[in-house]
Amino acid sequence: MKKDRVGFIGLGNMGGRMTRRLVDAGIEVVGYDADPARAAAAGARAAGSVREVVEAADVVMLSLPDSKVVEAVVEGEGGVLSACRKGQVVADLSTAAASSTIRLAGRFAERGAAYVDAGISGGAAAAEKGTLTLMVGGDAQAVESIGWAFAPFSSKVVVMGASGAGHTTKLLNNFLNAVSLAATAEVMVAGKKAGLDLHRLLDVLNSSSGVNFATINRFPRIVDGDYLEGGLTGRLMTKDLLLYVDCARELGVASLNASGPLASFGLATALGYGDQISNRVVDAIGDVSGGIRLHDNQAGEKQ
């Protein structure tokens, strides 16, 4: 057993990139994914099962689509929980419901293992650069003990509190991300129809009260036909929004602003953009606004 070996379960869009960062940092990674080819692509040693991953490493990381999948991988036959041991730390990097996370953490604690929730932000580009932000919930000592495993793919790690705090913070962040992306997409389509120069419009927005992450980091490239492919899909964005609404309901908070982005990304999925990057929401809004595109780059059209 090596203390500098990481087990990684879920080697998709984000998990594969984080695994590659670990491998490039000289850390041995034993990986498992439903698609066996992904382990080799990320530079990990492929495991034949979840149990094999858990038995091979003291630190196990999960990067899975949602709580339903996390629960199946953790609690299912041959899952993480059945194979974990005292002193082991499992870090869930998925976007998941805090209520599920808290329940799972209790089950791991009964076995003497630690389960920490580590929401991530920054997207595929930040994962590749090693500049992700991690918002973490769980035992502070457990989090500190695996700082070396977070370091290759993150530049900021903030312990938000007890179990579930990390995943709650992630849902709050993703909600604001969805609002700003959907709202900015609508504004940019309106600007195009009004005949405005979109680069000048962005320059004004980024110097004014309408500035947000999408105006700074996304649309300066989208208006030229670069959709920054490889990030969160529209379908996954909708999933995150629904998780946020559930979180707000559980907290007793009125969710008055979720309907807009839910409608926008729902429209995008209905029009065939659901499995493409969520930035394509601007094309969905453009489609129902007279066939508007922000750019003249035909490569940016829906495939």
Burial tier of 214 (Cβ tally within 10 Å: 0-12, 13-18, 19+): buried
65's tokens: 């689509």
φ and ψ of 134, to 5 deg: -110, 130
232's tokens: 């969160």
Whether the pLDDT of residue 298 is over 60: the answer is no
Q: Tell me the catalytic residues.
A: 170
Architecture of the domain spanning 5-161:
3-Layer(aba) Sandwich (3.40)
What pLDDT sits at residue 4? 78
Share of the chain above pLDDT 70, in %: 97
φ and ψ of 59, to 5 deg: -115, 125
Whether the pLDDT of residue 300 is over 80: the answer is no
Question: Cα 253–64–255 angle (5° rounding)?
Answer: 15
Could you tell me how many helices (H) and strands (E) the chain has, helices first? 16, 8
pLDDT digit string, tens, across residues 154-204: 999 999 999 999 999 999 999 999 999 999 999 999 999 999 999 999 999
- What is the CATH number assigned to the segment(s) 169-300? 1.10.1040.10
What pLDDT sits at residue 3? 57
pLDDT digit string, tens, across residues 61-86: 999 999 999 999 999 999 999 999 99
Query: Is there a contact between 31 and 56 (Cβ–Cβ < 8 Å)?
Result: no
pLDDT digit string, tens, across residues 225-262: 999 988 889 999 999 999 999 999 999 999 999 999 99
Is 169-300 the same fold as 5-161?
no
What does the longest C-alpha to C-alpha distance in the chain come to?
A: 64
Domains of the chain by residue range: 5-161, 169-300
